[in-house]
C-alpha cells in the first residue's frame, strides 16, 4: 500500500487524472447499481406488501365470448376450505364492483370511478398493508341493516380528499344500484408504494382496470360484506402461513381449478388459481430487463475509463524505463515489475473509485430529486462498486504492466530505450 501511495505522490497530476477517470466510472457504477438493483430490491419489498402468502381464486379475467361463467359461491368457498385442510388457511370471499365515488362534502366534485370491495373483516389479512389512519372494518359494521362504514386505500383517499389524514370521519357517496349511499370513512390504508408513479403505468386510466392495478390496491373502497348483492363472489383470497404452504395449497387447488400461470386458463371457463408471489416474481424479472440498458451504458463507461487509464499508465511506464531497468539489474524479475505496475495502477484506481462513491451517491440523489426515480444505496452496493474499481485498476494495468515487464534492461541502459 505504501508503495502504491508513494507512486501517487510521485505523479500527482497524472494520478489525479487517473483517479478522476476512475471516479467517474465508479460514480456511474454506483448510480446504475443503486438505481437498478435498488429499484428491484424496492419493488420486491413493495410487492411483498401485496400479499406474498396470498392465493386468489377467481373468474378468469379474459372470459371468452359465450363461454359459461364458472360459479363462485358458498359451495366453492366450502370446497376450498375442505381442500386446504391442515394448511391453516384463512379463506376470505369478496364481491367487487366498480362504482362512482365522491366526498359527500364536495358536491361540486365529479364522482370518480373506484372499485368497491365488499368483504368480511378477515379480508385485511390478505393485504400486508398497514392502516395509516383510523381502524379496519369489524363485524359490528356489518350488523346494521344498511352498513355505512368504509375503509379507503391510500390512492382512493388521495383522490377524494386533499389530505388523506382528514378522510377519517368524513363521509363519501357511493353510487350503488342507481342510488347514492353515504358511507363514513373509518380508516385509511397506508400507501404501500414507495414508487407509486412507477406502478401507475400498470393502471390504465380511469375506467379500465386490470388485474394488476386491482392487486396493487389502486383506488379501492373496502365496505362490509353485506353492503351489496348476494349471489356469486368476484373472488376468494386465501392467506397461508408460509411460502411452503402456499405452494402446497396451489398444488391442491389446481387439481380442481385452472392454474393462472397456464395462459390458456385466463380465457377458459374454469375458476383460476392465482398465486400472487409468482406474479410478483414475474414483475421483478421485467424490471430486471429494464435495467439492462443502464448496465450496458455503465459497462461502456467503465471500458472507456479502462482505455483512458491504460493510456495514462502506459505514459507513466514509458517515463520510467530507467527505473524499471535499474530494478531489473538489482534482481527484480519480470513478474515483480508487472506486479509493481499493477499494484500502483490499482491503488490509483481504487483511490479514485472511493472518491467516486460519494459522487455517485450524490448524483443519484440529484437524479431522484429531479425525476423522482427510485434509488437505494446500501453498503453492499458500495462494496460492489469498490470491487469494480479494483477490476478497473487491474484491467487498465494489463497493457502497461506487460510493456514494463517486457523491457530489456540492457537496451535501456545502452540508451536504446526498449
Partner 1 sequence: MSPVPHDPLRVEDCDAGGEALALLEGAARTYRSGAVAVEALQPVNLCVRRGDFLAVMGPSGSGKSTLLHVLGCLDRPTAGRYLLDGRDVSALADRELAAVRNATIGFVFQRFHLLADESAVRNVALPLLYAGVGRVERARRAAEALESVGLGPRMAHRPNQMSGGEQQRVALARALVKRPRLLLADEPTGNLDTVSGERVLSLIQAENAQGTAVIMITHDPEVAARAETTLLMRDGRLMAGPRPV
Ligand X SMILES: Nc1ncnc2c1ncn2[C@@H]1O[C@H](COP(=O)(O)OP(=O)(O)OP(=O)(O)O)[C@@H](O)[C@H]1O
Instruction: Give contact residues for ligand X (rule: CB under 6 A).
Output: 411, 414, 416
DSSP 218-271: -SEEEEEGGGS--S--SEEEEE-SSHHHHHHHHHHHTTTSEETTSGGGGGSSS-
1 binds partner 1 (CB under 8 A): no
Looking at 186-194, 254-262, 285-293, 332-340, which segment touches partner 1 (CB under 8 A)?
332-340
**Three-point CA angle 201, 205, 207, nearest 5°:** 145
Terminal CA-CA length for the chain = 28
d(CA 223, CA 201): 27
**363 contributes a contact to partner 1 by CB under 8 A:** no
Cell of 223: 365496505
Among 242, 262, 336, 378, binds partner 1 (CB under 8 A): 336
Choices 92-100, 225-233, 286-294, 323-331; region in contact with partner 1 by CB under 8 A: 323-331
Site for partner 1 in 293-322 (CB under 8 A): 322
Residues 2-21 that bind partner 1 (CB under 8 A): 6, 9-10
Select the residue interacting with partner 1 from 184, 226, 334, 402 (CB under 8 A). 334
> CA 68 from chain center: how many Å?
38
Where does this chain touch partner 1 (CB under 8 A) — which range of 82-90, 229-237, 328-336, 381-389? Answer: 328-336
Minimum distance of ligand X from residue 418's CB (angstroms): 8
Q: DSSP for 338-352?
A: HHHHHHHHHHHHHHH
Q: Identify the H or E element spanning 175.
A: strand 171-176
Number of neighbours of residue 418 by Cβ within 10 angstroms: 10
By CB atoms closer than 10 A (0-12, 13-18, 19+), residue 339 is middle
CB of 307 to partner 1, least distance (A): 28
Least distance from partner 1 to the Cβ atom of residue 283, Å: 57
Q: Min. distance of Cβ 404 from partner 1 in angstroms?
A: 14
Nearer to ligand X, 10 or 411 (CB): 411
Looking at beta carbons only, is 230 or 331 nearer to partner 1? 331
- Work out the burial of residue 104: count CB atoms within 10 Å of its CB; fewer than 13 is exposed, 13-18 middle, 19 or more buried: middle
Residues that bind partner 1 (CB under 8 A): 6, 9-10, 322-323, 325-336, 408-410, 413-414
Amino acid at each position: 500500500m505504501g508503495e502504491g501511495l508513494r507512486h501517487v505522490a510521485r505523479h500527482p497530476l497524472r494520478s489525479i487524472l487517473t483517479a478522476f477517470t476512475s471516479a467517474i466510472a465508479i460514480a456511474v457504477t454506483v448510480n446504475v447499481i443503486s438505481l437498478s438493483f435498488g429499484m428491484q430490491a424496492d419493488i420486491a419489498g413493495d410487492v411483498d406488501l401485496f400479499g406474498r402468502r396470498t392465493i386468489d381464486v377467481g373468474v378468469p379475467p379474459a372470459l371468452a365470448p359465450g363461454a359459461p361463467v364458472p360459479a363462485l359461491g358458498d359451495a366453492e368457498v366450502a370446497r376450498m376450505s375442505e381442500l386446504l385442510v391442515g394448511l391453516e388457511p384463512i379463506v376470505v370471499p369478496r364481491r367487487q364492483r366498480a362504482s362512482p365515488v365522491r366526498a359527500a362534502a364536495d358536491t361540486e366534485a365529479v364522482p370518480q370511478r373506484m372499485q368497491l370491495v365488499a368483504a368480511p373483516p378477515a379480508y385485511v389479512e390478505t393485504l400486508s398493508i398497514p392502516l395509516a389512519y383510523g381502524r379496519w372494518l369489524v363485524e359490528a359494521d356489518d350488523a346494521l341493516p344498511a352498513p355505512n362504514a368504509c375503509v379507503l386505500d391510500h390512492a382512493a383517499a388521495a383522490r377524494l380528499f386533499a389530505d388523506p389524514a382528514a378522510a377519517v370521519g368524513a363521509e363519501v357517496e357511493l353510487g350503488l344500484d342507481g342510488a347514492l349511499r353515504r358511507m363514513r370513512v373509518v380508516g385509511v390504508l397506508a400507501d404501500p408504494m414507495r414508487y407509486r408513479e412507477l406502478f401507475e403505468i400498470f393502471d390504465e386510466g380511469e375506467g379500465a382496470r386490470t388485474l394488476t392495478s386491482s392487486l396493487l390496491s389502486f383506488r379501492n373502497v373496502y365496505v362490509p360484506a353485506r353492503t351489496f348483492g348476494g349471489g356469486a363472489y368476484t373472488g376468494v383470497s386465501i392467506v397461508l402461513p408460509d411460502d411452503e404452504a402456499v405452494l402446497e395449497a396451489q398444488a391442491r387447488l389446481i387439481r380442481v381449478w385452472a392454474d393462472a400461470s397456464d395462459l390458456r386458463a385466463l380465457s377458459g371457463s374454469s375458476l383460476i388459481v392465482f398465486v400472487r408471489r409468482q406474479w410478483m416474481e414475474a414483475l421483478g424479472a421485467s424490471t430486471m430487463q429494464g435495467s439492462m440498458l443502464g448496465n450496458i451504458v455503465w459497462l461502456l463507461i467503465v471500458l472507456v475509463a479502462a482505455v483512458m487509464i491504460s493510456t495514462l499508465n502506459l505514459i507513466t511506464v514509458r517515463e520510467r524505463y530507467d527505473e524499471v531497468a535499474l530494478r531489473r539489474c538489482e534482481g527484480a524479475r519480470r513478474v515483480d515489475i508487472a506486479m509493481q505496475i499493477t499494484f500502483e495502477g490499482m491503488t490509483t484506481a481504487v483511490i479514485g473509485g472511493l472518491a467516486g462513491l460519494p459522487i455517485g451517491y450524490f448524483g443519484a440523489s440529484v437524479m431522484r430529486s429531479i425525476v423522482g426515480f427510485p434509488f437505494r444505496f446500501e453498503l453492499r452496493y458500495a462494496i460492489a462498486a469498490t470491487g469494480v474499481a479494483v477490476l478497473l485498476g487491474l484491467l487498465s494495468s494489463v497493457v502497461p504492466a506487460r510493456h514494463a515487464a517486457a523491457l530489456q534492461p540492457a537496451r535501456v541502459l545502452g540508451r536504446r530505450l526498449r
